[in-house]
Structure 1
Amino acid sequence: MDEDPSLSSELEETLEKHRTGSGTSGTLVLSDQEGYVGDTITLKGRNFPAEEAFEVLWHSTEGDWGVLKANEIVGPQYRPRTDHLMTVTSDADGRFDQEWTIPEDYGGAHKIEIQHDGETIDKAELEINPWFELETESAPLGGTFTFKGYGLGPNVVTNNYQVSWDNSTFGFMTGVMNRGTATAEIRAVGPPGKHVIEVWRNYRGIPYLQNNTQSPYGKVCGDRPSRWTVEVTEPEQELGGAWMDEQFEENPIELHYPDLDAQSDATLEITPTSGQAGTQAFITGEDFPPNKEVDLIWYRHEGHRVKGIPITPEQHRDVLPTVQTDADGRFQVEIEIPPEEGATRPITAEVDGREIAVTGFVVQPRIEKFTPREGPVGTTIEIELSGVGWTMYENGPFLVYDNKPLGYACGTSGDDKGGVIKMDIPAAGEPGYHFIDIYPTIYEMQEDEPNFEIFPHLSYLDNHPVRPLPASHFVFEVTEE
């Protein structure tokens, strides 16, 4: 038979397979059409060619935060992703039954595809339902409950989950990163006894109270719990003090450097590249002009978003020393990082009034002041933090008192602030221990939905944009009058 010139080569190949009987067929059925991360389902193959190998593909999504200039948060961004799950082999009757555990992945519908020699034989669809897991239902006062969500997002409705403690909503969780898995540590606050943790869902960032009764999207966690009664026990030891989460080594973000006046062979390095105020660091310069004075210049980012003043890196010449290069054009000087604005602090080297080399140091948050640590109701608690950055993902730390949201502070720098933010909080509650936690937030996001703005980000541990930021924690004891 002559080929029809009006047919594409792909269509002609398909028709030829049907004419010659060379097309491969088969039927894929799943034991369950929906499930949760961690469930085991069975892939059932029928009517396949006997004793043949077939590839199983998983169609899903890869997600992350959309960020511009390492500062401006656009919002959650997703793209298609395909994984090779396994190879299955049919038996003499053209059948196979293959058990498979649903991996940590986003919720919603996913295609499972069977291929043979690159040809799609059949597809089936699996719906992953979001759910949350509380690792323990008992913790001592001041301890934490580890709370994990699985199968969150990428749908705008299933991207934003609010957590409440005793009917007070105090933060959100999202699985934008880590393929829909999110982790939070929830403070065990008093008094000792029974308390209630609940997770809600709403893209607007506040609980929709009909989640489990009349929501068109179904219950928050399907047939799994979204509410837990937990036990706070007496503390195992005396409590007190203030601390921050573990901080990691970081490298400066070059997008936050100022432009140089001239290109040169000179190089500037700092060791270590990150740390809190008080860190001892060495600045090393090489390939500079020999026997020459070099002015080292520290930069802050200054401006005011609300007033419409752009935030730009500005010189502060009184922070770092002037050094002298040796005959080889080299120098090294030890400095102490001051209590400063956080994020990348550019450092430039200036020779004869021209900046010719640049490096940067990532200033990380540090608790500068927490006083007093006990007192009667109404006592003013003073808290100061340094190292709070100017960027959209870090400059709005949010204070929670006994798992109740109070408000946020602003980390935008200015000459008079020196990168340190100050807060005065009144002591409240019954006599005993009370807990202040300050969480990272997303100050502003370009996309309106879901709304993550200026609210404690409880899943900051594994889902915050750009950089891993720490929370800070404080224990205050309310005493009798």
Structure 2
Amino acid sequence: MDEEPSLSSELEETLEKHRIGGTTSGTVVLSDQEGYVGDTITIKGRNFPAGESVDVLWHSTAGDWGVLKGNEIVGPQYRPRTDHILTVATDESGSFDQEWTIPQDYGGAHKIEVQHDGETVDRAEFDITPWFELAEESVPLGETFTFKGYGLGPNVVTNNYQVSWDNSTFGFMTGVKNRGTATAEIRAVGPPGKHVLEVWRNYRGIPYLQNNTQSPYGEVCGDRPSRWTVEVTEPEGDLTGCWMDEQFDEQPLDLHYPDLDVESDASLEITPTSGQAGTQAFITGEDFPPNAEVDLIWYRHEGHRVKGIPITPEPHRDTLPTVQADADGSFQVEVEIPPEEGSTRPITAEVDGQEIAVTGFVVQPRIERFEPQSGPVGSSIEIELSGVGWTMYENGPFLVYDNKPLGYACGTSGDDKGGVIRLDIPAAGEPGYHFIDIYPTIYEMQEDEPNFEIFPHLSYLDNHPMRPLPAYHFSFEVTEE
């Protein structure tokens, strides 16, 4: 009788893994198939090899803003992400029950995969429902309270949530960054008493009012609330004044530097590298030609998008001094940062008509003027800001008055003071305190959906593109005639 044909070792190994009791046997199920960030579920494994270790993987998404040239906002960009979350030992019957808390992550379906010896055994699926959390429900007039969203995005439908105060929608929240978690600080505006905060969902950037009654995508937050009553209490003391959010140390973007005329060993540095108008800074040069006369040149980005004029770095020679290098080719000079255009301001060093070194300073926003701070209805409230940048993510700050949208301003002005915004706002409302907040926006985005353009970005604190931009805050008292 003929001998049975032999199997290759590779095929034998493959077949062995698929036999009952082989390394790829096993079943995984979840105690719950859907829920919220922060929920605890039980991952249940059965029919695995006894006394073995298995690995549990979580399949999700990594997200960020797509930005070209440090300026042009493409839109949200996502890619697959896999996290190893657990290593679990099976018992003598080949089983395990393991509790696990759903981490801060994007909404929608996530695969939970179990591997043994590097081979996938089984998968289950968990669906995260977005939800929002209100930190406080009683807040003194003029103060802010934290409003936080979890499980936002990446789906276009769940990537843009609109926030309303007393039925006035005044901004949006998105979780493009930080794995779907977004934070906003909401101003408690008056009069004192009960007010309604609500969050809506719509990829077009405006509330779809049938969210919770007839939406094919279900209610905004599943079975959790999307509407809250906030008690605004009487203020303590005088509230008039203005301030900005905290600003951080920043480094200039060399993408915004002009090209040099020639390459050289000369180097140029500035300390500090960021700050508001009025900051005292030191410019230091090294390895310049000995005893050379060096012209320091300040650059602004000039042009006009609406008029079709490309925005390019242009030299302004009367802003910074001319210095003399010493015998070693070194120099240091102290300068004051002018009230200028924000973002990266290139600084070049020119010797004998040729620019041979470059550095940059990040000009940050500043409130230059806010007056008066009280007056009757109709009073002109004059506000002047400096350091507003030219880029798509900082060029169009948006004003809200008592949490009602008013309009946007532009850092590309019609005069020779780019980055300086002058505003004249009429005082309105009943006698008492009223509040103007100016939030960052995305002026223009290449992708059409979801729509994030020219509307207050309330989650700018942890989700704005490129830079940690601050918001501006103003309190005005309307007085009797």
1:28 maps to a residue whose letter is V
Alignment of 1:40-439 (within 5 A): 40-412=40-412, 416-439=416-439
Tell me by how many angstroms 1:270 deviates: 0.1
Tell me by how many angstroms 1:23 deviates: 4.0
Tell me by how many angstroms 1:10 deviates: 8.0
Cα distance in 1, alignment partners of residues 43 and 405 from structure 2: 47
> What do residues 406-429 of structure 1 show as CA deviations (whole Å, max 9, x unaligned)?
000011266622421111100000
Tell me by how many angstroms 1:34 deviates: 0.3
Tell me by how many angstroms 1:346 deviates: 0.1
Describe the shift of the 1:216–1:353 C-alpha distance in structure 2 as closer, same or farther (beyond 3 A). Answer: same
Q: Is the 8 A contact 1:301 1:413 kept in 2?
A: no
Task: Give the paired residue count.
Answer: 478
Cα distance in 1, alignment partners of residues 287 and 60 from structure 2: 51
Q: Is the 8 A contact 1:273 1:361 kept in 2?
A: yes
Q: Is the 8 A contact 1:390 1:413 kept in 2?
A: no
Describe the shift of the 1:414–1:341 C-alpha distance in structure 2 as closer, same or farther (beyond 3 A). Answer: farther
Cα distance in 2, alignment partners of residues 186 and 340 from structure 1: 29
Cα distance in 2, alignment partners of residues 142 and 17 from structure 1: 66
Q: Is the 8 A contact 2:443 2:453 kept in 1?
A: yes
Describe the shift of the 1:367–1:49 C-alpha distance in structure 2 as closer, same or farther (beyond 3 A). Answer: same
Tell me by how many angstroms 1:19 deviates: 6.0
Cα distance in 2, alignment partners of residues 258 and 188 from structure 1: 45
Cα distance in 1, alignment partners of residues 195 and 277 from structure 2: 38
Identity of aligned residues (%): 86
1:461 alignment partner, SS class: helix
2:175 maps to a residue whose letter is G
2:37 alignment partner, SS class: coil
Q: Is the 8 A contact 1:389 1:395 kept in 2?
A: yes
> What do residues 378-426 of structure 1 show as CA deviations (whole Å, max 9, x unaligned)?
0011111000000000000000000000000011266622421111100
Tell me by how many angstroms 1:11 deviates: 7.4
Is 2:448 aligned against 1:448? yes
1:223 maps to a residue whose letter is D
Cα distance in 2, alignment partners of residues 189 and 20 from structure 1: 67
> What do residues 136-160 of structure 1 show as CA deviations (whole Å, max 9, x unaligned)?
1010000012100000000000000
2:108 maps to a residue whose letter is G
Describe the shift of the 1:140–1:12 C-alpha distance in structure 2 as closer, same or farther (beyond 3 A). Answer: same
Cα distance in 2, alignment partners of residues 73 and 165 from structure 1: 29
1:425 alignment partner, SS class: strand
TM-score, normalised by the number of residues in structure 1: 0.97
Aligned to 1:479: 479
Structure 2 gap segments, 5+ residues each: none
1:108 maps to a residue whose letter is G
Q: Is the 8 A contact 2:50 2:92 kept in 1?
A: yes
Cα distance in 2, alignment partners of residues 320 and 77 from structure 1: 40
Cα distance in 2, alignment partners of residues 48 and 328 from structure 1: 74
Tell me by how many angstroms 1:347 deviates: 0.1
Structure 1 gap segments, 5+ residues each: none
1:154 maps to a residue whose letter is P
Describe the shift of the 1:421–1:39 C-alpha distance in structure 2 as closer, same or farther (beyond 3 A). Answer: same
Cα distance in 1, alignment partners of residues 130 and 10 from structure 2: 40
Tell me by how many angstroms 1:293 deviates: 0.6
Cα distance in 2, alignment partners of residues 10 and 423 from structure 1: 76
1:282 maps to a residue whose letter is F
Tell me by how many angstroms 1:13 deviates: 4.9
Q: Is the 8 A contact 1:300 1:413 kept in 2?
A: no
| Root-mean-square deviation over aligned CA pairs | 1.5
Cα distance in 1, alignment partners of residues 10 and 364 from structure 2: 58
Q: Is the 8 A contact 2:390 2:419 kept in 1?
A: no
1:469 maps to a residue whose letter is L
Cα distance in 2, alignment partners of residues 66 and 388 from structure 1: 22
> What do residues 154-211 of structure 1 show as CA deviations (whole Å, max 9, x unaligned)?
0000000000000000000000000000000000001000000000000000000000
Describe the shift of the 1:330–1:228 C-alpha distance in structure 2 as closer, same or farther (beyond 3 A). Answer: same
1:157 alignment partner, SS class: helix
Describe the shift of the 1:368–1:409 C-alpha distance in structure 2 as closer, same or farther (beyond 3 A). Answer: same
Q: Is the 8 A contact 1:303 1:413 kept in 2?
A: no
> What do residues 220-272 of structure 1 show as CA deviations (whole Å, max 9, x unaligned)?
00000000001000002211111000000000000000000000000000000
Q: Is the 8 A contact 1:184 1:458 kept in 2?
A: yes
Tell me by how many angstroms 1:449 deviates: 0.3
Q: Is the 8 A contact 1:162 1:199 kept in 2?
A: yes
2:441 maps to a residue whose letter is T
2:339 alignment partner, SS class: coil
Cα distance in 2, alignment partners of residues 70 and 77 from structure 1: 15
Q: Is the 8 A contact 1:286 1:330 kept in 2?
A: yes
Q: Is the 8 A contact 1:302 1:413 kept in 2?
A: no
